[in-house]
Structure formats: C-alpha cells, structure tokens
C-alpha cells in the first residue's frame, strides 16, 4: 500500500510539471494519425492475445490511440517494454482507473473494475521488448539542442525558458517516432495550451503569439520574445486561432544525422525534475 | 421586518448548533423563545406567498424563483442603461470544500443556502453575516455514484426549510435556528440512492427527487407531509409489472431501470399538476439488456400533485443510450400559440432539441435542434426522434454530438415574458461513446460504458436566446468552454449568466450584447437569483468557493 502511494505520488509529481503537446481531445481527433504513425514506425510488439479477449478489445478501443494497437507507443509511451509504473497489477489498475494528473492519461471511469483488470492483464501480456536502439547519439543530440537554440523555448531539468512544453521527461512520454514527427512538422499536432493566435487591434496593429489563456471577453498571449499581452476582445477587430501552426520552427532542414542525434537526446530524457 | 432582531437572535444562536456550555444554552434558549414570540410572523413563507411569488419580487422563495420555473425576476431597477454601475455588495466565503451548486432562497431578511456536501447556512441578507449553520455528518462510505458530492438548495415553507442529503435523508429545519424539526429516510444510500436536488414545497407537501441513475436504482418522486415528514405518495418512474409502460422493458430490466429525478421540477397550482424531468435509463450506455422505449426515462412527466398519479408523459429520447437525462427544469409559460391561449411547457433538452409542449395534455407542438447534434435526422410529427443508425455507443467507440453531458445540463434555463425568448446555457461538445459490460451489483456503478469527450478547442459553449414558439435562435454569446451555470432574465431587460472561466455577466435580453461582467476568480456552477435589500434590486450567484451579491453603486 505504501509502495503504491509512493509510486503514484512520485509519478504525479513528475508528470504534473511536464508539459506535453496533446490533449485527450486532440488525441481522439488524431487517432488515425497516431495509429498510422505507430504502425509505420514498426513499433510493434509481439503477437497480441486474440481480439476476442475482453482486455484486448478494450485496449484497442480505448488505449491504442495513444499507446499503439500493439502497445508500441505513439503520443503516449510504449507499453510493450518495462513499464514506468512497474508490473504490479494492483498499481497499474490504480493508474488506469485514476489516470495520471497533469498528463493526457485520463481516468477510466467508463470501465468497471473487471474491465480495468482485463486491460491491465492485456498490457502485462504485451511483448517485453528492449528499447529499440536509436540511430543517433544522445550526447551529440545535446549539442544540437543547444546550437539550435531550443533552450529559448523549452525547459529541461530547470534550465531554459518555457514558451513551449517542458521536455524534462519527454522521452518517457513520447515514442521516438513521434518526437521525430514533431521536430519535422511542429504544426501537425499542437496542444490547445500552445495554440498560436494572431490578434488584430483596432489600430490595425497585429500581435501573434502563444495563447496563454482566453475567455469570452479577454485573451492573454505571449509573443516570441516571451512578452505577455492581455487584451479586452472589445478592443480587437480579429482573433485568428491557427490550429495548424506552431511557433516552433521545423527542423526538416537539419541534416539527417543531426536529426537522429536530437531525437536520441530527447528520447533519453526520462528524468526527474530538479 | 426586524433585521436588528434577526441579527441579534443570530448572534445568540450560532453557538447552539456548534455546541455550548449548558448555562449559556439555557440563557440562549430563553432569549430565543422571547424573540420567537416577537418575530415569528415575519418569516412565514406560506403557500400563498409561494403561489404569488411574482407579487413579491424582492424575495426569491423557491428554487426557480416561482412555480413556473421561469427564473425571471420582475424587478426593473437594474437596466441595460445602469448595469455598468453594478458592484459587489458582499461576498460570503463557503465554509466547506467542494463544488458549490446552490441556488439560495431569500425571504424576510434572510438568505438560506446550502454548502457542500449538504450543509445549510442562513445569512443576514443585509450584511452577509452568518445567522446559523447546520451540518449533517455523512457516513464515511457514503455512495455518490455518478456525480460529485453537491447540494443545490433548500425548499422553504412556513418557518421550515427542507434539505435532502447525500445519504438520502430529508430534513426539516427551523428557518430561524437550523434546529431539526423532523427527519425521514427517503431511501437507502447503500444502493446508490442519494439527494442533490432542492426539494419543491407546495401546499403542505414537500416534493423530493432522487439521484442514483448510474447505480441502477428504480427511480421515484416522493411527496412528504411538510409538517410531519410522513410519505404521502411515491411515483415510480419505472412502471412495475401490470402497470402501463412496463411492456417497454424486457424481463426484470425495469428493476434497475434508473430514471432518477435529480433536478427540481415545476408546478402549476391552477391544475394542481407537477412537471418533473426523468433521468436516463440504466445501464446508461448499453441498451442491449433493456430493449424497448424504457418508459418513463428521458421523459417529462405530469403528475397529479395530490395523488402522485401520472396525468401524461412525453419521452424526449426513447431507449436512450447516451445518458441524455431529461433532468432539466421545465419552463411553464402561458402564451398564445396558433391563435389560441395555451398552457405551455418549454424545455431545451439534453439531447440537443428544444421542445414546446402543451402542458395540459402533453401534446408535442415544436421541436428543433439548438446545438450541433449528429444522432437524429429530426423529430417526427409526434415529436419522436428519427434516429440515425450507427449512432449507438460501441466497443470501438462512436463519435456523437452532443456529449453525455448534453446540450445543456441540470443548471437552469430562463424565460422572459417581456422578450418572449427562452435563454439557455448551451454546450457544443461531442464525445466518443463506448459500450461496456452491464453487471448489476447493489450500490455499485451500473453504467456499462462511457465516453471520451472532445474538449479543449474542439468544444465551446454559448448563451443562446431562442424564440419560445419556434425555437429559432435570436442571438448568442460565445463561451470558451461548455458552461455549468444557469441563466436568469429580468424585467429590467437583462440576462445574467456565468461561465467556467469565472465570468459573471449581464447581457441585453433583446440583443445579447454584453453590458457588464465581473471576474469572480472561480468557475460558476450555480444559478443566478434576484431580490431586494432595503428596497433595492440585487443579484447573486455562487462562483468558485464563494457566494457573490451585487447591487447598483449608489
């Protein structure tokens, strides 16, 4: 019991502050993208149990859009290898039931205890594969991270600036293939928390940045210089939300080995906060 | 009106409910008796007052402001021209943690509200200072299956207020002190029965709805003798064997058919008829075990208030599999339709359609969508939905609009006789619905599935104004997220409402233009009310963990 609560609180603490790039909603919207990318990446575990099995059916319906049809991961971490939360079914059932605060892992109130137990049994039955070796070198990736100026917008273990998501634990939360996709096409999937908006003031001036908050009457954004702007919407002539835009530049042009190194570095970030 | 006396009595009586040395208690009781003799007549909320609530708009005597539940205040002091001068008069900090969904009542210098989980507090209306507080300790294993531990308010009749508790008791409290006059067990909480709704007080009776629609209860609506707590009648929302409607259930499925009554209904005293919304069938998302229409779930029922007998019913969502309870407050309106004066019932339903019925007989008059919905092609001439195949929950998940929280939810709509518009806080949100297993265990969830709702920028909310007769949208105010707060309209020409972002706002009732707003600092999950302090109009709403009262700066 003590062990359980310790593990849970630890994971909550760690995940609370880790900003990610997707909401559950967007996850639903992007189900097919996630599934395709996981399948395409070849992140496929061992032969799963039959689809008639309750746990398999539930996993494929309700978990696979983030964790992959065969548990190989996607927008959520892979489950076909040693698990972050260990392999105690009771612990895992609690994780599934309550979700993980501050992450996109939702509580599973729609499943009863028997169904949750079946899902956990399915997860524990997934293949246990060693993490696939990545082509890049994490140490060189850190150099790329620094030379490309990523610290201007991301925090890792307390260092950097937080215009974009914190990356301290991103390797534990995203499959490498997804990390690569985000680097190449940052606007493809953007969390609502990093929504880019372009505002036109009554004067005609324009301000563009990341939406920090918004309600029916006001909006707060932070521009690329990290400057906070707060407006009454009555003073604006246009509020353009850009769902396919990110303030992050694409690293498509990076040479292939540097991109491999950067992915390897990000994938290595499994760490605790300072 | 003796505010000074009330204040004095309050100060003396506060300790009574929290424990006091016996000498002080004796002194206090003696004082109370004398005060009671001098001021009892000043706070008798009689049935006549309740019935004629429109005649005293300075009070807010019942959950929806009147038996017709229009949540309309005939006060005119606050107008579009001067609402910009609205300022906070006082704020009461809720004394217990949890969601605050209360609608306070106001009469005779007092405001009586509930605090989570089911405490009752009386405040001095003028100052917001506490007069008394009553707490009902709950068992540690109290069952609140399918909803948070909330309470939405009290009913007031005579000098007694009535409150339901999460462990399914009904308490009658002295309105002057909070002392318990009687209590009665409405149902067994161990089977998931619970009470969150404000009771409705009518002539000598207290009408009480039950929660437990996700626990496979067999729903009912009860009437208790206001003086003694004796059960006068019970209307089962799921007909038993031999009763009409039982044939809409298969086998024993009626026994766990749900049909909760968890939101306060309306009353037409002229024809002694109650109108009450009935909740979803059980299990919620897997209809395979209950083939048929599943009467009287997801319906509104009209009941003879004296006998509890069914006069008519109208089912909005036959064989519901999306948890679209009809637990909304029915708006009772008398108006001319097709050149004929009629008694009407208007309700924006959770399933996405706005309905207008003849409340004398339940006849369907109009029904149109008021949000994006993807499950029905429309309604046929009897008002029955023409369901699009393939929109049921499935193991793989089925995307349907609206989400299970519905196009609106428990919080109140409003109708203004001045504009002829129905105002509703609407939810534009879809969900992927899952179908799961249905095993019934007493006191456990009996839902068989659920949803993953689309949220974030994929969802939003709106305050919408609909034409009473046609349901046509007249205006709307966009809200960042689907709301959880009701609306109130006023004769001054305003609509008050709130959002999840903490804004409490006043809109022009005719155009929807935002005329005033206040950032309360917490989400609104309540219903606004209006009343007078010292002859001047005020409005109040709960927001976050506090109750705010506003009046014009003078």
pLDDT digits (tens, 9 = 90+) for B386-411: 999 999 999 889 999 999 999 999 99
Burial status of residue B444 (CB atoms within 10 A of its CB: 0-12, 13-18, 19 or more): middle
Q: Which of residues 279-318 of B touch A (CB under 8 A)?
A: 285
- Pick from B430, B436, B431, B432: which is nearest to B395 by CA? B436
Half-sphere exposure in the Cβ direction for A104 (13 Å, CA): 30
| Residue A42 confidence (pLDDT) above 70 | no
Chain centroid to CA B397: how far? 31
pLDDT of residue B42: 55
Nearest to A24 among B399, B449, B452 (CB): B452
Q: Which of B436, B449, B503 sits opposite A216 (nearest CB)?
A: B503
Task: Give percent above pLDDT 70 in chain B.
Answer: 92
Question: Considering only CA atoms, which of B250, B256, B320 is closest in space to residue B290?
Answer: B250
The whole-angstrom separation of Cα B351 and Cα B326 is: 8
The CA distance from B385 to B375, in Å, is 9
Chain A, 172 to 231: residues with Cβ < 8 Å from chain B are: 191-192, 195, 214-217
* pLDDT tier at A1, thresholds 50, 70, 90: very low
Residue A241 to residue B455, Cβ atoms within 8 A: no
Which of chain B's residues have a Cβ under 8 Å away from the Cβ of A112?
436-437, 439, 444-445, 447
The verdict on a CB contact (< 8 Å) between B499 and A112 is no
pLDDT of residue A40: 33
Which one of A60, A105, A116, A217 would you mutate to disrupt binding with B, by most B Cβ within 10 Å of its Cβ?
A: A217
**What mean pLDDT do residues A210-216 have?**
96
Residue with tokens 């760690």: A14
Backbone angles phi, psi at B5, to 5 degrees: -65, -45
DSSP string, A197-243: EEEEETTS-EEEEEEEEE-SSEEEEE-TT--EEEEEGGGEEEEEEET
B325: nearest Cα among B304, B346, B294, B302: B294
pLDDT at B171 over 50: yes
Ramachandran region of residue B480, left (φ > 0), alpha (ψ -120 to 50) or beta?
A: alpha
Mean pLDDT along residues B461-489: 98
* Beta-carbon contacts below 8 Å between A and B: 78
- Exposure string of A199-218, with b = 16+ CB inside 10 Å and e = fewer, is beeeeeeebbbbbbebbbbb
Q: Is A233 on the interface with B (CB under 8 A)?
A: no
**A52 inside 8 A of chain B by CB:** no
Burial (CB count within 10 angstroms: exposed 0-12, middle 13-18, buried 19+), residue A47: exposed
Give the whole-angstrom CA distance, residue B164 versus residue B196: 7
Q: For residue B455, which residues of chain A lie inside 8 Å, CB to CB?
A: 23-25
Task: Tell me the shortest Cα–Cα distance from B524 to chain A, in angstroms.
Answer: 13
pLDDT at res. A21:
32
Work out the pLDDT band at A16, boundaries 50, 70, 90: very low
Cβ–Cβ below 8 Å for A26 and B503:
no
Q: Which of B184, B310, B307 has the alpha carbon at shortest distance from B237?
A: B310
pLDDT, residue A12, reads 30
Q: Minimal Cα distance from A242: which residue of B? A: B457
Residue B222 known to be catalytic: no
Q: Residue A29: which of B436, B437, B458 has the nearest Cβ?
A: B458
Three-state SS at B397: coil
Chain A partners of B499 at a C-beta cutoff of 8 Å? 215-216
Q: Look at residues B371, B378, B372 and name the one whose alpha carbon lies nearest to residue B424.
A: B371
Inform me whether the C-beta atom of residue A32 falls under 8 Å from chain B C-beta atoms. Answer: no
When mean pLDDT is compared across A82-91, B249-258, B343-352, B477-486, the lowest value belongs to: A82-91
B-chain CB neighbours of A57 within 8 Å are 395
Q: Edge-to-edge strand order for the sheet containing B299-304?
A: B266-268, B273-277, B299-304, B310-315
Question: Has residue B268 got a pLDDT over 90?
Answer: yes
Show the 3-state SS of B39-82.
HHHHHCECHHHHHCHHHCCCCECCCCCCCCCCCEECCCCCCCCC
Distance between CA A43 and CA B117 in Å, rounded? 48
Which pLDDT score, from 0 to 100, does residue A273 have?
A: 52
Does A111 lie at the interface with B, CB-CB under 8 angstroms?
yes
Residue with tokens 């007080």: B201
Strand, coil or helix: B84: helix
In this complex, do A216 and B447 lie within 8 Å of one another by their Cβ atoms? no
Contacts of B448 (CB under 8 A, 6+ apart): B283, B284, B285, B286, B289, B435, B436, B437, B438
Q: Using the beta-carbon criterion (under 8 Å), do A115 and B396 form an inter-chain contact?
A: no
Tokens, residue B293? 């229409």
**Residue of higher predicted confidence among A235 and B454:** A235
- To the nearest whole angstrom, how far is the Cα of A110 from the nearest Cα of chain B? 4
Q: Give the model confidence (pLDDT) of B93-105 as tens digits.
A: 999 999 999 999 9
Mean pLDDT for the stretch of residues A243-269? 94
| Residue B515 phi, psi dihedral angles, 5° rounding | -110, -20
Interface test with B, best of A21, A25, A99 (most B CBs within 10 A): A25
Do the beta carbons of residue B428 and residue B462 sit within 8 Å? yes
Quick check: A262 and A254 in contact, CB under 8 A? yes
Question: Quick one: pLDDT band at residue A52, thresholds 50, 70, 90?
Answer: low
3-state secondary structure of B368: strand
Pairing of the two strands B353-358 and B340-348: antiparallel
Residues of A in contact with B444 (CB under 8 A): 112
Q: List pLDDT tens digits, range B112-162.
A: 999 999 999 999 999 999 999 999 999 999 999 989 999 999 999 999 999
**Closest Cα in chain B to A114:** B437
- What residues are paired with B162 via a beta bridge? B155, B172
Mean pLDDT confidence for B461-484: 98
Omega before residue B117 within 30° of 0, cis: yes
Q: Do B455 and A112 touch (CB under 8 A)?
A: no
pLDDT of A78 above 80: yes
Torsion of CA A65, A69, A71, A77, to 10 degrees: -20
Q: How far is CA B447 from CA B18, B214, B246, B260, B553, in A?
A: 40, 6, 21, 14, 50
Q: What average pLDDT score do residues A245-273 get? A: 92
Question: Which 8-state DSSP code applies to residue A47?
Answer: P
- Indicate the length of chain B as a whole number: 554
Judge if the upstream peptide bond of residue B283 is cis by omega within 30 degrees of 0: yes
Q: What is the pLDDT of residue B417?
A: 98
**CB of B159 within 8 Å of any CB in chain A?**
no
CB B15: neighbour CB atoms within 10 A?
Answer: 14
- For A107-161, the DSSP string reads --TTS-HHHHHHHHHHHHHS--PPPPPPSS-HHHHHHHHHHTTGGGT-EETTEE-
User: From edge to edge, which strands make up the β-sheet containing B340-348?
Assistant: B331-337, B340-348, B353-358, B363-369
Which residues on chain A are in Cβ contact (under 8 Å) with B397? Answer: 61-62
Q: Is the pLDDT of residue A38 over 70?
A: no
Residue B356's pLDDT is 98
What is the mean predicted confidence (pLDDT) over A114-119? 91
Residue-level pLDDT at B1: 35
| Residue A4 pLDDT class (50, 70, 90 cuts) | very low
Average pLDDT, chain B: 93
Hey, what are A138's tokens? 């994490």
Catalytic residue among B124, B284, B325, B499: B325
Mutate to test the interface with B, among A97, A112, A115, A122 (most CBs of B within 10 A): A112
Which residues in chain B are contacts of A240 at CB distance < 8 A? none
Whether B477 and A216 lie within 8 Å, measured CB to CB: yes
- Residues present in chain A in total: 274
The secondary element (H helix, E strand) that includes residue A29 is helix A24-29
For residue B184 the two structure tokens come to 């009665």
**Is residue A128 very low, low, confident or very high in pLDDT (cuts 50, 70, 90)?**
confident
Query: Does this model's pTM top 0.90?
Result: no
- B 38-97 residues inside an 8 A Cβ radius of A: none
Partner residue opposite A106 with nearest CB, options B452, B477, B514: B452
Nearest-by-Cβ selection for B455 from A23, A60, A241: A23
pLDDT given at position B35: 44
> What is the helix (H) or strand (E) element at residue A35, kind and residue range?
helix A31-41
Q: Is there a contact between A110 and B499 if contact means CB atoms under 8 Å apart?
A: no
Peptide bond into A171 cis (omega under 30): no
- Asked if A217 lies within 8 A of B514 by C-beta distance, the reply is yes
Residue A216 Cα, gap to closest chain B Cα (Å): 5
Q: Which of left, alpha, beta for A129 (phi over 0: left; psi -120 to 50: alpha)?
A: beta
Asked if B429 reaches chain A (Cβ–Cβ under 8 Å), the answer is: no
Interface test with A, best of B286, B396, B458 (most A CBs within 10 A): B458
Total Cβ atoms within 10 A of residue B391: 18
Q: Render the burial of B259-290: b for 16+ CB within 10 Å, e for the rest.
A: bbbbbbbbbbeeeebbbbbbbbbbbbbbbebb
Could you write out the DSSP letters of every residue in B333-360? EEEEETTEEEEEEEEE-TTSEEEEEETT
């Amino acid at each position: 019991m003590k062990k359980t609560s310790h593990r849970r609180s630890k994971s909550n603490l760690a995940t609370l502050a880790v900003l990610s790039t997707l909401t559950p909603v967007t996850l639903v919207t992007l189900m097919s993208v996630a599934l395709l990318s996981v399948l395409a990446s070849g992140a496929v575990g061992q032969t799963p149990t039959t689809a008639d099995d309750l746990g398999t059916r539930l996993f494929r319906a309700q978990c696979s859009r983030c964790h992959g049809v065969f548990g190989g991961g996607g927008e959520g971490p892979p489950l076909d290898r040693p698990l972050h939360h260990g392999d105690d079914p009771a612990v895992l059932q609690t994780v599934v039931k309550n979700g993980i605060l501050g992450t996109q892992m939702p509580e599973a109130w729609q499943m009863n205890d028997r169904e949750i137990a079946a899902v956990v049994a399915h997860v524990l039955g997934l293949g246990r594969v060693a993490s696939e070796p990545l082509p890049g070198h994490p140490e060189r990736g850190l150099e790329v991270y620094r030379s490309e100026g990523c610290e201007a917008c991301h925090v890792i273990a307390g260092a950097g600036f937080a215009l974009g998501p914190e990356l301290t634990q991103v390797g534990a939360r995203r499959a490498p293939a997804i990390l690569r996709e985000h680097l190449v096409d940052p606007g493809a999937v953007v969390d609502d928390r990093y929504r880019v908006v372009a505002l036109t003031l009554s004067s005609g001036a324009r301000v563009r940045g990341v939406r920090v908050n918004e309600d029916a009457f006001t909006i707060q954004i932070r521009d690329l210089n990290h400057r906070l702007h707060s407006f009454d919407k009555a003073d604006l002539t246009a509020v353009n939300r850009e769902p396919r835009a990110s303030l992050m530049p694409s690293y498509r042009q990076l040479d292939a080995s540097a991109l491999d190194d950067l992915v390897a570095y990000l994938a290595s970030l499994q760490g605790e906060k300072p | 009106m003796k505010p000074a006396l009330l204040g004095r009595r309050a100060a003396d009586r506060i300790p009574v409910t929290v424990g006091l040395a016996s000498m002080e208690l004796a002194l206090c009781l003696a004082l109370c008796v004398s005060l009671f003799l001098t001021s009892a007549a000043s706070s008798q909320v009689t049935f006549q007052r309740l019935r004629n609530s429109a005649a005293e708009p300075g009070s807010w005597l019942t959950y929806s402001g009147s038996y017709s539940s229009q949540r309309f205040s005939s006060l005119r002091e606050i107008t579009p021209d001067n609402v910009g001068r609205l300022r906070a008069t006082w704020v009461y900090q809720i004394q217990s943690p949890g969601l605050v969904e209360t609608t306070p009542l106001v009469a005779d210098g007092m405001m009586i509200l509930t605090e989570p989980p089911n405490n009752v507090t009386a405040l001095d209306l003028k100052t917001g200072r506490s007069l008394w507080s009553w707490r009902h300790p709950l068992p540690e294993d109290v069952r609140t299956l399918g909803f948070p531990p909330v309470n939405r308010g009290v009913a007031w009749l005579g000098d007694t207020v009535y409150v339901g508790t999460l462990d399914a008791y009904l308490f009658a409290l002295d309105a002057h002190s909070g002392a318990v006059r009687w209590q009665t067990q409405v149902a067994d909480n161990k089977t998931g029965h619970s009470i969150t709704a404000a009771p409705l007080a009518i002539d000598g009776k207290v009408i009480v709805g039950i929660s437990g629609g996700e626990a496979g209860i067999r729903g009912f609506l009860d009437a208790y003798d206001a003086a003694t707590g004796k059960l006068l009648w019970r209307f089962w929302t799921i007909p038993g064997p031999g009763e009409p409607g039982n044939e809409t259930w298969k086998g024993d499925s009626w026994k766990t058919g749900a049909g909760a009554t968890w939101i306060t209904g309306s009353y037409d005293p002229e024809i002694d008829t109650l109108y009450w919304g009935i909740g979803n069938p059980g299990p919620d998302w897997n209809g395979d075990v209950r083939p048929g229409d599943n009467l009287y779930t997801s319906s509104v029922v009209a009941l003879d208030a004296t006998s509890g007998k069914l006069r008519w019913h109208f089912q909005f969502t036959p064989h519901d599999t999306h948890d679209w309870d009809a637990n909304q407050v029915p708006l009772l309106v008398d108006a001319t339709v097709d050149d004929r004066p009629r008694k009407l019932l208007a309700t924006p339903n959770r399933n996405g359609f706005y309905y207008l019925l003849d409340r004398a007989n339940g006849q369907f008059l109009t029904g149109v969508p008021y949000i994006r919905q993807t499950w029905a092609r429309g309604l046929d001439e009897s008002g029955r939905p023409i369901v699009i195949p393939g929109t049921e929950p499935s193991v793989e998940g089925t995307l349907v609009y609206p989400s299970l929280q519905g196009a609106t939810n428990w919080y109140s709509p409003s109708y203004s006789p001045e504009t002829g518009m129905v105002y509703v806080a609407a939810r534009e949100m879809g969900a992927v619905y899952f179908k799961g297993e249905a095993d019934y265990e007493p006191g456990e969830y009996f839902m068989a599935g659920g949803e993953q709702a689309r949220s974030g920028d994929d969802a939003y909310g709106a305050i919408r104004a609909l034409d009473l007769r046609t349901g046509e949208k007249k205006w709307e105010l966009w809200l960042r997220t689907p709301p959880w707060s009701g609306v109130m309209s006023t004769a001054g020409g305003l609509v008050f409402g709130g959002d999840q972002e903490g804004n409490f706002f006043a809109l022009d009732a005719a155009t929807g233009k935002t005329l005033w707003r206040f950032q309360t600092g917490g989400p609104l999950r309540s219903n606004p009310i209006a009343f007078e302090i010292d002859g001047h109009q005020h409005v109040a709403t709960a927001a976050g963990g506090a109750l705010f009262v506003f009046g014009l700066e003078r």
